[in-house]
Amino acid sequence: MGGWLKVAGLGPGDDALITPEVSAALADATDVVGYVPYVERVAPRPGLTRHGSDNREEIRRAEQALQLAATGHRVVVVSSGDPGVFAMAAALFEALEASEPAWRALDIQVLPGISAMLAASARVGAPLGHDFCCINLSDNLKPWALIEKRLRLAAEADFAMAFYNPRSRARPEGFERALEVLREACGPERLIVFARAVSTPEESLRVTTLGEAQPDMADMRTLVMVGSSHTRLIQRHAGGAERQSTPWVYTPRSVSGAGS
Amino acid sequence: MGGWLKVAGLGPGDDALITPEVSAALADATDVVGYVPYVERVAPRPGLTRHGSDNREEIRRAEQALQLAATGHRVVVVSSGDPGVFAMAAALFEALEASEPAWRALDIQVLPGISAMLAASARVGAPLGHDFCCINLSDNLKPWALIEKRLRLAAEADFAMAFYNPRSRARPEGFERALEVLREACGPERLIVFARAVSTPEESLRVTTLGEAQPDMADMRTLVMVGSSHTRLIQRHAGGAERQSTPWVYTPRSVSGAGS
């Protein structure tokens, strides 16, 4: 039958951040399946059918991809960033587990991509250079109380933190509450980074403290990072590009701040 | 003067996982600086000097790279995986902060790479598909008590977990103790994944439970992942390749396990 299914990460936006592995899969595919703006990142060509679907259609999209692969198509399910971090890979396996057992013999692979977290971290320095955690702040699929519990435990563990989906238009109050919890747990001097649309033309970066942070500094395209108690700033000397004026933010490898 | 310094991630081993951004930087470099086995992944060519150094030489290596860039060289500092995750980016900024202020005007960029964590996660499915944390289990640069505290808090937060540097030859007892802490906090049925040297010819995968896990299943080339309480297995139907016999491991997007 010859069909296969690859769940692939397109990275944060810049084509120079798409791995050759993913590019090769796209070049060999008969079908690309995904959320409309991600599918549109794949150039049309003869022999390729692009199936764009709405957000929050993840399970139906995954079933469609499995069905296509089961009937001999070569299918790439595209995610932004990395497919394994709050993206399509988990949805695909949820659909696979709930579907007909024969599909478990399909040739399925997950192809990693540059996650928004790694791209944002690179842009400002190395804020995740020591132990860290990664939390989806959307309460679509989990109770808000669990998010708050995780924020408090992450602060107690002194992790650096990366937050996905910080602020939806439908529930902007969630992020305001998250900032309050973090200020209480980490203090107003703790560093926070707002990295929006990294590697796209709309990229913007802002480095501030929890005391100065405002909820409207984030939207759904923003990756937010909060430092550990050891995370530090380095002011850059004046340079030409706008990016140069944002200070570097990094978390030393050692808890004492001492080098090796 | 025209010098620059890029701290670049070479990914977990397979050249198909190196981003075009990193390949372009390597093609334009005059000097590559890094730990010997990573520098050897960059093919020699006329006009390129490769500076290999020992492990645990991170700060001296970073100073060397800054010095070269300050004198007009185009320098790539290479890391395995992603440079921002327990790799050279943090060391570079430690050295920058401790060095002469003029170096802060240098053109420095961090280029992200596919981290071992993302590559290992993709190989077995989507174990990091929900909130997770990432901990370096080496106690070279932090006290063991802090590692243990973070393990207990991560278990209480019900994070999936990714562990770097699980087991050194010098201190193998650390990982044994980590497994004890995790068994106590998460119970013997909790899933654990040992992903060794993913994307290299030495790749091996093992999926088991904390109750069955043995310390010698990990070495310093192994990325270890422990599921949250919601992480699940899907047995694959018999396939040809050895990889096909490892079950899929994934963490659903929802805490209740329900799809969207």
Question: A27, A23, A24: which is closest to A11 by C-alpha?
Answer: A23
User: 3.30.565.10, 3.40.1010.10, 1.10.10.10, 3.40.50.620: which CATH number matches B4-114?
Assistant: 3.40.1010.10
User: Which tokens in the block code for residue A38?
Assistant: 């991600």
Q: Which amino acid is at A217?
A: M
Question: Least CB-CB distance to A56: which of B90, B251, B260?
Answer: B260
- Of B98, B142, B252, which is closest to A255 when you measure between CB atoms? B142
Chain A residue with Cα closest to B103:
A237
Chain B residues lying within 8 Å of A255, measured CB to CB: 141-143, 146
Q: What mean pLDDT is reported for chain A?
A: 94
Look at the block and give the residue holding tokens 């310094």.
B5
B125-175 pLDDT, tens digit per residue, is 999 999 999 999 998 889 999 999 999 999 999 999 999 999 877 778 899
Find, in chain A, the residue whose alpha carbon is nearest to that of B243: A109
CA of residue A134 relative to chain centroid, distance:
9
Which is nearest to A193 in space by CA: A227, A244, A216, A221?
Answer: A227
Q: Where are the alpha helices (DSSP H) in A18-136?
A: 20-28, 36-39, 58-70, 88-98, 116-124
Closest chain A residue to the Cα of B137, Cα to Cα: A131
The answer, yes or no, to whether residue A244 has pLDDT greater than 90, is: no
Contacting residues of B for A246, CB less than 8 Å apart: none
Cβ <8 Å between B126 and A90: yes
The DSSP annotation for B146-197 comes to HHHHHHHHHHHTT-EEEEES---SS-THHHHHHHHHHHHHH-TT-EEEEEES
Note the residue count of chain B. 260
Compute the distance between CA of residue B233 and CA of residue B78 in angstroms, rounded to an integer.
36
Nearest chain B Cα to A94, which residue?
B252
Residue A260: the pLDDT is 37
Interface check B185 vs A, CB under 8 A: no
What are the pLDDT digits (tens) for A127-174?
Answer: 999 999 999 999 888 999 999 999 999 999 999 999 999 987 777 889
A4-114 against A117-250: fold identical:
no
Superfamily of domain B117-250: Tetrapyrrole methylase, C-terminal domain (3.30.950.10)
Residue partners of B151: CB distance under 8 A and separation at least 6? B135, B161, B178, B181, B182, B185
- Is it the case that residue B73 has pLDDT exceeding 70? yes
Strand order from edge to edge, sheet including B31-35: B49-53, B31-35, B74-79, B4-9, B108-111
Q: What residues contact A80, with CB distance under 8 A and at least 6 apart?
A: A9, A10, A11, A12, A13, A35, A38, A87, A116
How far is residue A2's CA from residue A195's CA, in Å, rounded to a whole number? 42
From the list A96, A123, A126, the residue facing B90 with the nearest CB is A126
* Per-residue pLDDT at B48: 98
Residue B38 forms contact with A (CB below 8 Å): no
CB of A90 less than 8 A from some CB of B: yes
A52, two tokens:
């764009």
Mutate to test the interface with B, among A153, A223, A235, A255 (most CBs of B within 10 A): A153
- How confident is the model at residue A255, as a pLDDT? 86
Per-residue confidence at B258, pLDDT binned at 50, 70, 90? very low
Domain extent listing, chain B: 4-114, 117-250
What stretches of A48-162 show up as alpha helix (H) in DSSP?
Answer: 58-70, 88-98, 116-124, 144-156
Per-residue pLDDT band for B244 (boundaries 50, 70, 90) equals low
- Is B125 at the interface with chain A, CB within 8 A? yes
Mean pLDDT of A233-257: 78
Which residues lie closer than 8 Å to A157 by C-beta, 6 or more apart?
A131, A133, B133, B149, B150, B153, B154, B157
d(CA A43, CA A164): 27
Chain A hits for B130, CB-CB cut-off 8 Å, are 86, 90, 136
User: Are B110 and A129 a contacting pair at CB < 8 A?
Assistant: no
Name which of A95, A110, A237 is nearest B122 (Cβ-Cβ): A110
| A-to-B residue pairs, Cβ atoms closer than 8 angstroms | 267
Alpha helices in chain A (DSSP H): 20-28, 36-39, 58-70, 88-98, 116-124, 144-156, 173-186
What's the CA gap between A102 and A162, in Å, rounded? 38
In angstroms, the separation between the Cα of residue A14 and the nearest Cα of chain B is: 9
What residue in A sits closest to B249 (Cα-Cα)? A93
Decide if A156 touches B, using CB distance below 8 A.
yes
Q: What is the pLDDT of residue A56?
A: 80
A122/B118 Cβ within 8 A: no
CA distance B216 to chain A (A): 23
